Amino acid sequence: MSTVSEHALLTMNFQAMQSAYRRDPAPDYAQRVAVLKKLKQALITHEQQIYQALSIDYGYRSEFDTFFADIMPTIAAIKYAIKHLKRWMRPSKRHAGLMLAPSTVTVHYQPLGVVGVVTPWNFPFYLALGPTVQALAAGNRVMIKMSEFTPNANQILRTILDDISDHVHLVEGDAETGAAFTALPFDHLIFTGSTAVGKLVAKAAADNLTPVTLELGGKSPTIIDAHIDMKIAVDAVIMGKSINSGQICVAPDYVFVPTTRLDAFIETFIARYSEYHLKSANRNQQSHIISQRQHTRLVQLLEDAKAKGAKIHAVKAMGPDDNKCVYPHLLTNLTDDMAVLKEEIFGSLLPVMTYETLDDVVTYITDRPRPLALYIMSNNPTLIERLITHTHSGGIGINDTAMHVVADDAPFGGIGHSGMGHYHGYEGFLTFSKAKTVLYSSSWLPKNRFLLKHRDWALKVLRKWLLR
């Protein structure tokens, strides 16, 4: 995006969405549901095109991954919003208290206006439409900035949005377009991506005092205890690490296992991953790495670790022709100076560390930036409670990984370096609404006249009541 006219076009599109909102700033329940139903039907109609587009963008992307992580959660979010929207929209009654009696207090949920959504390449449909669904349910208009790395998916999404283009506008372009997009004076801006870019987005939004929701990433740990069935634990880790080849912000980034169980974990992981992905007769195989650039980055992380003494345990070693497919490589004998322990991996490498006591694990995690997710493989309630209460993370999965993201009736969001704010479900509706307090006093009440006329007496009584 290098010319003034392109910047001007982006601004014009934003102003058009503002005008559309101002023409109808309070869409009712029926209007909102109608938009959501059109979006759901368009997704269903274009299901096969979605599979094809993402597979072209990736070189190969499993239909299972696309359905499980893009299509299914998006449609589920739409159905959940439609089911509960009437209740969400209803003003909530609040307690006025003695000081305001007999007035009433209610909270009304008003659309914010125009919401900006910045979408990454790893789940372009869900991460574009997930927040869009909640923003539309809250009565807003939406502009979506798509990643330049998923051009085919972007075109299908543009077609899907054709019938609701008055409500949702799609923007494509490179990083410069993204910078211009985040500089627009949105009424709310949600960004999903890296922590480094998230900081730039927050700075751009601050110039307009635009509230932001940042869904970032980080290094999400998995803790395996001394007694959990290793096959159960490994299957959970594989599920989170194999979806989209680990190119997911809540993928297990590294694993802690008891020292005495290290060999069992490695052997079980390699055997079961091979069974599921190399020896399986399933047509759906492991998705590819999105680009040569991302593949090179993973290779560099692996080479850096090897050069510094790490041991590599590969499910399948990379060959000269494997320029897009990287099967998991477990790394042991790790040291803190290795890049693989500093950077979010976002791929199919998995550092494995050992521990003697749970205190060692808690100290390691709390000494580092707070992750987006934390996973516990255990049936020990004391250990589970200790990790829940003594560590910070955006969310927690127990004997499961990544699945908490698609819980319709629970908020999703990071903390610290892994993000701020949250959305999904009712919390998403609240994020994209202005909770407006309305105090109603009947016109016949002489309250103000009484307080003005009897200030000394009112002060004495109220102090006695409040300060007792």
* Cα distance between residue 217 and residue 20, in whole Å: 34
* Cα distance between residue 78 and residue 132, in whole Å: 10
* Cα distance between residue 115 and residue 462, in whole Å: 44
Instruction: Tell me whether residue 207 is exposed, middle or buried, using C-beta atoms within 10 angstroms of its C-beta: 0 to 12, 13 to 18, 19 or more.
Output: exposed
Query: Would you say 114 and 140 are in contact if contact means Cβ atoms under 8 Å apart?
Result: yes
Q: In what order do the strands lie in the sheet with 254-258?
A: 311-314, 329-332, 349-355, 254-258, 221-224, 373-377, 395-398
Half-sphere exposure of 258 (CA within 13 A, CB side): 14
* Cα distance between residue 6 and residue 78, in whole Å: 33
Catalytic residue among 6, 47, 148, 249: 249
* Contacts of residue 351, Cβ cutoff 8 Å, sequence gap at least 6: 253, 254, 255, 305, 330, 331, 332, 334, 340, 341, 345
Torsion angles phi and psi, residue 138, rounded to 5:
-80, -5
Q: How far is CA 449 from CA 97, 102, 120, 344, 446, in A?
A: 19, 15, 58, 63, 5
Residue 158's SS3 state is: helix
Is 249 assigned a catalytic role?
A: yes
DSSP H or E stretch at residue 106: strand 104-111
Instruction: Tell me whether residue 410 is exposed, middle or buried, using C-beta atoms within 10 angstroms of its C-beta: 0 to 12, 13 to 18, 19 or more.
Output: middle
Is 267 assigned a catalytic role?
A: no
Angle at Cα 62 formed by Cα 58 and Cα 68, nearest 5°?
A: 115
Could you give the residue ranges of the DSSP H alpha helices within 243-308? 262-273, 292-307
Query: Would you say 38 and 163 are in contact if contact means Cβ atoms under 8 Å apart?
Result: yes
Torsion angles phi and psi, residue 429, rounded to 5:
-60, -45
Catalytic residue among 6, 63, 215, 303: 215
Which residues, in sequence order, are bridge partners of residue 420? 214
Token output for 399:
């004997």
Active-site residue numbers? Answer: 215, 249
